[in-house]
A and B are shown apart, each in its own frame.
Chain A
């Protein structure tokens, strides 16, 4: 999709049939691969496939980025996590940043089908990183695009676009998916305006089934497991600073691995 992001269509008929918006999968590449979580972007039950959108940041996402058509993902487990709570809330604002736009798509679609007025705000560093715009448009009443560099849509951070909407009309629910720091600021903003907000968290996981507790976050002062209690939580209760800190747990190890990958 760009020099950073790739869309993978993966054959997984059982998962395609069972998944709902908000669900994620755990995948592993090769016998010595690590297990990483990825939120499902869409599924085709006829073809028996699911779509994953991956931005290359770490070791496994880089390997995924470089995969060729026909290659196999060694292990794929899912669907995991609790599905998004979808009902007719009234007006729903969907705020997606970067690669977070992909898992937002099924929620936009679900919310629209449930009878909501859906306003989507999509944000990225620049134009080439705004993904799935047409698909999002198909299920939204309105789409606002924000780019950091102003190369497309309006120039500015996602919060600028979100705030304009909230000031303009009554929003009953905000759903936000994107980098942790982006969700933190969206959450701070909607809290100010008292707009209920749900954030989909992407943390470090091993098994994805509640076994390891590596994904734990503080929500309302209590420790929760993203894999089985989430991945979606009341954003206003999430301790984003702690989450961002914990995401850095294996920073050094990851850099070492990346060096090795580039040497190969």
Chain B
């Protein structure tokens, strides 16, 4: 972004980009009808039977031809509502039109102006609820939206595979130091933006790997670690520094950070604490949280015989919950050799919080769905290993506070099912480690850090974002928080507030 552009309002920026000669020529090159007649591209996928036995990525990406054809569907609207649906406000038509004209590297550059992790977002964002939900095809034409997510992934992958990775333009160094707590999506997004503003950025990570949930949580078949590493490397190129094995508030205190010259701190420590249901038998052997299961398999590589970390590979695995993490866990269990891998969810499929794509993929891979079932109790064998679960059958009643129909037990309708592993995936709570270690920080009764509209906490030098503020959300919302916090901290530290 040039200096003139940054002085414009958002609307002026969008209009200026759209008025570029090449964009105008490209718009005129095809009639609207020609564009809207093109069917939406289908993502290329690994065969379901094959992929359910390997850990390779399910989605294979688009070819250049597919991407250009899909990009041609975009009408390059004067009022691009898609941008409003994006938590980090990517210049969507701008990158899409660059794909249409075949300038894929420029498309990637546009993405990186606002997103620190485009290859990640192109894979894991719920676009169908965000940008694509606001696309004119969805809003006005009654047709499937432009496949913005697939195109984002295409541009980011193209750049990475080309080896010609651009480093975003950085403001001159301003000599100020800021610290980031946690290297997940919120922290990385914040770090990238602060580096662009000219700050010296140090990211502190408790685990031995950088990436937070992108590494320990999301499985290889949905987001390969190598993809995450390239994006992290890009941040390193921008001057961002990382320190692993370090907990702010424990290994080093906030006061020590201030003494070392850090003038702003962003906390993106995530929603670390897994919830359990507190039902009888839940502490039996081989009943574990999705966090533990996925961390063992993803971060610790436990399924690899070379790894020292063990993981039990159940033959009959039940995953409790209906979110993306539940889908990740059950599909992982299938890949580790489960003969029966099932989702147990207390509502119906319609209320499932998981992305439609994840549910579809899971079904194709042979995952069973026990919807309208809720665990009541687990039974163990003589050594305390889980062998059975007792489930309550449910039906849908009146809508509850969330607007979804409330599941109610059907009296007397219970079923007992044999299992040898149960993965509990019923949400997470904010990690208390950081909030408890920082005196004077205002915490809500849910354990989240309280922030104002600018992501600033009750302590002026400390900002926060992502799940430690939201309590459990998505990668892209966390990134949006990081971006917002960076803008407000920059305004504060440069005296523009």
Q: Which residues of B contact A222 (CB under 8 A)?
A: 278
Does A228 lie within 8 Å of B295, measured CB to CB? no
Is B384's CB within 8 Å of the partner chain A? yes
Task: A104 to B307: give the CA distance in the assembly, Å.
Answer: 32
CA distance A198 to B273 in the complex (A): 25
Does B365 belong to the interface (CB within 8 Å)? no
Given A209-B272, A216-B283, A228-B433, A245 and B384 touching (CB < 8 A)?
yes
In the complex, A33→B436 CA distance in Å?
Answer: 30
Q: Which residues of A contact B251 (CB under 8 A)?
A: 14-15, 18, 77-79
Given A80-B250, A210-B431; A246-B245 close (CB under 8 Å)? no
What B residues does A223 contact at CB under 8 A?
A: 276, 278, 282-283
How many chain B residues have a CB neighbour from A under 8 Å?
41
Q: Output the residue of B246, B288, B292 with the most chain A CB within 10 A.
A: B292
Chain A binding surface SS class: mixed
Interface locus among B62-70, B298-306, B487-495: B298-306
State whether A32 touches B250 (Cβ < 8 A): no
Query: Once the chains bind, are A28 and B208 in contact (CB under 8 Å)?
Result: yes
Instruction: Judge if B237 is at the interface, Cβ distance under 8 Å.
Output: no
Interchain CB contact under 8 A, B206 and A246: no
Are B245 and A212 in contact, with the CB atoms below 8 A? no
Does any Cβ of A come within 8 Å of B140's Cβ? Answer: no
Whether the Cβ atoms of A218 and B383 lie closer than 8 Å is: no
| Distance A254 CA – B302 CA, assembled complex (angstroms) | 13
Flag A54-79 by CB within 8 Å of B: 1 or 0 each: 00000110000000000000111111
**Closest A residue, CB atoms, query B308:** A34
- Are B295 and A206 in contact, with the CB atoms below 8 A? yes
Interchain CB contact under 8 A, A32 and B306: yes
Query: CB of A211 within 8 A of chain B?
Result: yes
Contact between B291 and A32, CB atoms less than 8 A apart:
no
B253: which A residues are within 8 A, CB to CB? 18
Considering only residues 11-56 of chain A, those with a C-beta below 8 Å from chain B are 14-15, 18, 28-30, 32-35
B155 vs chain A, min Cβ distance (A): 32
Given A78-B250, A80-B250, A206-B300, A212 contacting B291 (CB threshold 8 A): yes
Within 8 A of B (CB), among A215-264: 216-218, 222-223, 225, 228, 242, 245-246, 248-250, 253-254, 257
Interface residue? B244 (CB, 8 A): yes
Query: Do the beta carbons of B300 and A248 come within 8 Å of each other?
Result: no
Contacts A75-B245, A77-B251, A213-B291 hold; do A246 and B310 have CB atoms under 8 A apart? no
Question: Is residue B207 within 8 Å, beta carbon to beta carbon, of the partner chain?
Answer: yes
Q: Which residue of A lies closest to B282 (CB)?
A: A223
Given contact pairs A18-B250, A32-B306, A209-B247, A249 touches B283 in the complex (Cβ within 8 A): no
User: Please, how many angstroms separate the alpha-carbon atoms of A77 and B274 in the complex?
Assistant: 21
Q: Give the CA-CA distance A217 to B288 in the complex, in Å.
A: 13
Which partner residue on chain B sits nearest A254 by CB separation? Answer: B310
How many whole Å from A238's CB to the nearest CB in chain B? 12
Q: Which chain B positions have C-beta within 8 A of A29?
A: 308
Contacts of A90 in B (CB 8 A): none
Q: Is the CB–CB distance between A75 and B283 below 8 Å?
A: no
Which residues of A are found within 8 Å of B289, using beta-carbon distances? 212-214
Q: Are A59 and B295 in contact (CB under 8 A)?
A: no
Within 8 Å CB of A15, what residues of B? 251
Rounded to whole Å, the gap between the CB of A230 and the closest CB of chain B is 13
Which residues 234-254 of B sit at the A interface, judged by CB distance below 8 A?
244-247, 250-253
Inter-chain contact A211/B250, CB cutoff 8 Å: no
Q: Let me know if A207 is at the binding interface, CB within 8 A.
A: yes
* Cross-chain contact of A75 among B208, B273, B285, B301 (Cβ < 8 A): B208
Q: In the complex, what residues of A have CB within 8 A of residue B97's CB?
A: none
A102–B239 alpha-carbon span in the complex (Å): 43
User: Are B310 and A245 touching (Cβ within 8 A)?
Assistant: no
CA distance A210 to B252 in the complex (A): 18
- Contact of B308 with A59 in the complex, beta carbons under 8 Å: yes
Contacts of B420-442 to chain A: CB distance below 8 A: 431-433
Docked-complex contact A35 and B286, CB < 8 angstroms: no
Whether A242 contacts B274 by the Cβ 8 Å rule is: no
Instruction: Tell me if B309 counts as interface (CB < 8 A to partner A).
Output: yes
Interface residue? B296 (CB, 8 A): yes
20 new A-B contacts, CB < 8 A, other than A15-B251, A209-B431, A249-B286, are: A32-B304, A34-B308, A34-B309, A35-B208, A76-B245, A77-B208, A77-B245, A79-B250, A206-B292, A207-B207, A211-B273, A211-B292, A211-B295, A212-B292, A214-B289, A223-B282, A245-B383, A245-B384, A246-B285, A257-B308
Binding site for A on B (CB under 8 A): 206-208, 216, 244-247, 250-253, 272-274, 276, 278, 282-283, 285-286, 288-289, 291-292, 295-296, 300-301, 304, 306-310, 312, 383-384, 431-433
> Can you report 18 A-B residue pairs in the complex whose CB atoms are below 8 A from each other?
A14-B251, A33-B309, A35-B208, A59-B308, A75-B208, A78-B251, A207-B295, A209-B433, A210-B431, A213-B276, A213-B288, A216-B283, A242-B283, A245-B285, A246-B285, A248-B384, A249-B286, A253-B310
